[in-house]
Every structure is written in C-alpha cells, then in structure tokens.
C-alpha cells in the first residue's frame, strides 16, 4: 500500500499497544451468568419508551449533557436538596471513570485502589499515563483506609460493593478515605442497588468525592450504555470538560428517564428485581456452602467463589453451556484468595430455575474431579 513503509502498530502509543482487547466469552444458547447484568430484562416503562420515538428523533444529536435526566437522578440519589451537587452522565459508568482520570490525573500521577477491583481501573490508569498503586484489602475485605490515604495518590478509587469479590465495604472506611485523601476520591457504586446501603449522601459533605453509578446492572439497560456520577459543581465541571458532549444517546436518555419514574413498572420494577436477585443470591450461597465451596460475603448481584481450580471449573461449566467469569492471578491476600491461589469464579444471579441449572452443572463437574 502507498506509504506503508513501517509497521503501523509501532506508531501507536506504548500504553495502547500493551492493552489487551476486552473479549468476553459467548456461546449460542448458553446460560450466561458472566456479566452480572439484570437477567430479568429491563423495566416495562423503559421498554415502552424505547418503542415511542419516531425516526426523526434519532436524526438529531442528543442533548450535550443529558440535562433532562439531571433532576430525576438527583431525586433518585436523595440529593435534590443538597446544595452545590451536580450530575455528569456518560456512555456507561466506565466512560465517567475514564473521564475523571483524564480530568484530574496528569501523566505520572498515581491512582490508588484496593486490589483486586474493577479490572478496567488499572487499564484506564495506564491509558491515561497514570501509575496504578494497588493496596491490599484488610483481612475482612474491607478497605484498608489508612493505607489508601497514606498512598498520597492524586486519585483514589473505591468500589462499593467491590467487583469482582462482591464484598461490602464499611461506611466508616469510605468516609475515612473520602474526608482524608489528598486528592480526588472516586466511589464506584455500580452495584449499589443490591447493597444494604449507599454512600452517595457523602457527596454533600466531601467536596472532592465523585460517586459513580450505572443503568447497566439493576436497571437492565446495559445495551444502552448510560452511566452517571454525582459530585460538587467544581468536580463535575472538570469531568464534563474531559468527557466531551453527546455521550448518552437519545434512546438511552429516554429509557433511563422512564425507568426513574416513581411507578410500579419503573422504579418499583427495579427495586423488586433487585430484592429478588439478593434473595436468590443467598439461596445459591447456602447451596454452594453445603457442597464444600466458600463464596465470599456478597452485597452485589453476583457471588465470588474462590477456588484454586477455577479455570478448570469454568471450562467444564462452559462445556455444559453455562458461562461464568473466571479470574486468575488475583492478589494472594486476604487469606481466602491465598488459599485459592489467587483464582475465583464470579457468578451472576438469574431466576432460581437458571441458578438450579448452574448448581446441577457444577455438581456434575465436581463429581468428575
């Protein structure tokens, strides 16, 4: 080809060449429990909203910053009466997380986080020229708040409940970091709807805190990619500058707005199915315990099951058309991860019939060991 005198990949940034492509497993007809999305679908109100727009509505750009969603999001978070709080939206919560790193991190700055955590955090960090600083969890999987603060990082990332361990973190630890960290604190609450409590209220008291949420999990709108965050005006203004305009599509904004309505087929539906996921999670955890496995305490819509043979279990489950997420190379602390040699399965919740299928397949696999 004209001008092709050198390897084009060599023109890319080193940080980009080193990044792996995200390639989740898939299989036609499989029971997919690997993504921790809402297995029951989306709120009926959101689905109706998606059927309403005319072709003309998608021929124009959406609103630059999803302004129509802001009042509803503030109400949903209980922050409508909290002064100086604003909302920023994005193409999924990971878009907001990436924009926050660009907004506040300069190349060479550090970002501290408890490890293991959301796998995109160290990737986004490297892509933005930041130095990842992993900090081990405390023995109970709570944040080691003092070590996170002592890291002196420009950005500190917290995930509550944590992904991929599903474990809750305490309010005391979150508040300690949010009030004492030297830089910006980003609190990822992607799974907050399944947890005993949210810490979004801290935004009103911690001026450098950004609380990030998503419509991809409890709201069942993963395919529309709608994320958002709440923070003080000074923090949100910088994230908005870094994220650019038009990040939420017309359809995504419309569906999210409908899902936030205080109605039985909107927020009522979301809350009922979040409770159902929690109830089934506890049943599955009990069933796993009875067969000798030890899932970690969960505050999300999935279970993390430490197992030294996790990769073998995942492959054998896949052979039976059941997909789960396998993690290897995890930190060897706390003790539960050390005993499993840093390997674990992450299993999302679905209907009880689906989870029974998973349990039956797992029993078959273990019987062959």
Q: Where are the domains of the chain?
A: 8-42+267-367, 44-259
Cα 35 to the center of its chain, rounded Å: 10
Class level of CATH domain 44-259: alpha beta
Strands, E, within the chain: which ranges?
Answer: 31-32, 85-90, 110-115, 131-136, 155-159, 184-188, 209-214, 227-232, 302-306, 322-323, 325-327, 344-348
Q: Tokens 């991190």 correspond to what residue?
A: 105
User: 354 falls in which pLDDT band (50, 70, 90)?
Assistant: very high
Which tokens belong to 34?
Answer: 């690997």
Task: List, for residues 319-330, the tens digit of each pLDDT value.
Answer: 999 999 999 999
User: Does the N-terminal peptide bond of residue 232 adopt cis geometry, omega within 30 degrees of 0?
Assistant: no
Using the predicted structure, report yes or no on whether residue 53 has a pLDDT greater than 80.
no
User: 54 falls in which pLDDT band (50, 70, 90)?
Assistant: low
Using the predicted structure, report yes or no on whether residue 57 has a pLDDT greater than 60.
yes
Using the predicted structure, report yes or no on whether residue 3 has a pLDDT greater than 60.
no
Comparing CA positions, the residue from 24, 76, 75 lying closest to residue 222 is 24
Average of per-residue pLDDT across 299-307: 98
Q: Please, what's the b/e burial string for 324-358 (b: 16 or more CB within 10 A of its CB; e: otherwise)?
A: bbbbeebeeebebbeebbbbbbbbbbbeeebbebb
Q: Please, what's the b/e burial string for 60-96 (b: 16 or more CB within 10 A of its CB; e: otherwise)?
A: eebeebbeebbebbbebbebeebeebbbbbbbbbbbb
Which tokens belong to 162?
Answer: 């944590």
At residue 27, the pLDDT reads 64
Q: Tokens 């909302």 correspond to what residue?
A: 87
At residue 134, the pLDDT reads 97
Comparing CA positions, the residue from 283, 303, 311 lying closest to residue 346 is 303
End-to-end Cα spacing for the chain: 54
Task: List, for residues 222-241, the tens digit of each pLDDT value.
Answer: 999 999 999 999 999 999 99
- For 76, how many CA atoms within 13 A lie in the half-sphere containing its CB? 28
Q: Which architecture does CATH list for 8-42+267-367?
A: Alpha-Beta Complex (3.90)
Please give the Cα distance from 356 to 157 (Å, whole number): 36
Sign of CA dihedral 173, 179, 181, 185: positive
């Amino acid at each position: 080809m004209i001008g092709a005198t050198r390897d084009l990949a060599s023109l890319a940034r080193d940080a980009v060449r080193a990044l792996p492509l995200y390639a989740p497993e898939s299989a036609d007809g499989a029971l997919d429990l690997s993504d921790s999305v809402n297995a029951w679908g989306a709120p009926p109100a959101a689905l109706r909203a998606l059927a309403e727009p005319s072709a003309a509505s998608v021929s124009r750009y959406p609103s630059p910053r999803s302004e129509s969603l802001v009042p509803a999001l503030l109400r949903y978070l209980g922050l409508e009466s909290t002064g100086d709080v604003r909302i920023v939206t994005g193409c999924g919560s990971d878009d907001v997380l990436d924009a926050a790193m660009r907004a506040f991190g300069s190349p060479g700055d550090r970002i501290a986080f408890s490890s293991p955590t959301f796998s995109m955090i160290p990737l986004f960090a490297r892509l933005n020229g930041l130095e990842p600083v992993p900090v081990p969890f405390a023995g109970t999987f709570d944040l080691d708040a003092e070590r996170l603060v002592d890291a002196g990082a420009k950005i500190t990332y917290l995930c509550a409940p944590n992904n991929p361990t599903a474990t809750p973190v305490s309010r005391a630890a979150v508040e300690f970091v949010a009030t004492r960290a030297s830089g910006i604190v980003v609190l990822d609450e992607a799974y907050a709807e399944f947890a005993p409590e949210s810490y979004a209220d801290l935004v009103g008291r911690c001026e450098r805190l950004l609380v990030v949420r998503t419509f991809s999990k409890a709201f069942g709108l993963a395919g529309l990619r709608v994320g958002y965050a709440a923070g003080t005006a000074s923090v949100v203004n910088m994230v908005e500058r870094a994220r650019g305009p038009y990040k939420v599509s017309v359809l995504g904004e419309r569906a999210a707005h409908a899902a936030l309505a205080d109605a039985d087929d909107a927020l009522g539906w979301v809350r009922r199915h979040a409770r159902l996921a929690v109830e089934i999670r506890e049943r599955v955890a009990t069933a796993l315990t009875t067969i000798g496995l030890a899932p970690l305490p969960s505050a999300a819509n999935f279970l993390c099951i430490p197992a030294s043979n996790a990769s073998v279990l995942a492959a054998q489950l896949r052979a039976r058309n059941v997909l789960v997420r396998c993690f290897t190379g995890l930190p060897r602390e706390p003790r539960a991860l050390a005993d499993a040699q840093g390997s674990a399965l992450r299993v999302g919740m679905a209907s009880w019939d689906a989870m029974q299928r998973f349990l039956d397949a797992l029993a078959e696999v273990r019987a062959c060991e």
